[in-house]
Amino acid sequence: MTTTRNKKFELIADSAIEVFGRKLFRIRALISFGNVSAGELGGYVEKAKNVAENGDAWVSGDARVSDDARVYGNARVYGNARVYGNAQVYGNAQVYGDAQVYGNAQVSDDAWVYGNALVSGNARVSGDALVSGDALVSDDARVYGNAQVYGDAQVYGNAQVSGDALVSDDARVYGNAQVSDDAWVYGNALVSGNARVSGDALVSGDARVSGDAWVYGNAQVYGDAQVYGNARVYGNAQLVWFSKVGSENGTLTVFRASAGLMVSRGCFLGTDEEFLAAVDKRHGADSKIGREYHLLIEVARSRIDVSIPVAADEAAEPEAA
């Protein structure tokens, strides 16, 4: 016995299941469309309007669509995937595996969400984007173009990942940060604030890019390096960092700028000479911490050759706030 039907499929009453107090019904195609044959069993929906009557949209396997969620266009939801809340899956999008799309999230165009991935809040995944593994895209985040978010990576807040960019492993991109072009953020790296990572740039390890910083071109920021404030790291910029230094056991990052060396440590961002002057004023040049910082700057100076002129697109620059 069927409880309801439309011209495309029917809900089968005796194949109902209960999920969190809601009754979901397996569906059965009444006509052939797309790759679906008449009589073919589909997945589970709470009501007929969860799947559009027009188009080739379909829910199959043990996938479940409930609440006010909608699947339409030529979209497909299958495997053990779940779509619920006010979520929408449309266009040629696919959601499968054990993936979940919920809240007010939308997956559209030719985007795929699969594995154990979660897309929630007001997040949007579109274009040819892929979200997979145990990745999370939430809040007002956007993943589009040919971008990929996978592994245990998280993109949230108002962050955007676009172009052919990759965010993977345990990386986090959040705030108003943007990762685009062919950039790759991976490892345990964090990109936050209004930071931008683009071009062929790589941010990896335990690196942090935050504030209004930009990392682009062929630049690489890795290890425990920290780039923040209004810093610009681009081209083939040279960079070195030292971890667990100073009175706070923090990270000292030194990078090449067109005018020489720039140093970031804690809230400080300035030239190497300005940094040493600040150290001498606060700790004293002959103190243990003072001597430590002077030695580290000397090591950085020996590792980064500032005698060779660099083009504007091969250096890092701090811009005025």
What percentage of the chain reaches a pLDDT higher than 70?
Answer: 91
Task: Name which residue leads in pLDDT, 290 or 93.
Answer: 93
Instruction: Judge whether residue 167 has pLDDT over 90.
Output: yes
Report pTM: 0.82
Which pLDDT value is given to residue 193? 97
Q: What is the mean pLDDT of residues 55-71?
A: 97
pLDDT: is 55 or 229 the higher one? 55
pLDDT tens-digit profile of 143-162? 999 999 999 999 999 999 99
Instruction: Determine whether 249 is exposed, middle or buried from the number of CB atoms within 10 Å of its CB (0-12, 13-18, 19+).
Output: exposed
Look up tokens 């007001």; give the residue: 122
How confident is residue 3, by pLDDT bands cut at 50, 70 and 90?
Answer: very low
Rounded Cα gap, residues 172 and 102, in angstroms: 20
Average confidence (pLDDT) over 43-63 = 96
Residue 195 has pLDDT above 70, yes or no: yes
What's the confidence (pLDDT) of residue 307? 66
Task: Phi first, then psi: give them for residue 300, nearest 5 degrees.
Answer: -60, -40
Residue 92 or 314, more confident: 92
CA dihedral over 203, 206, 207, 212, signed as positive or negative: positive
pLDDT at position 237: 59
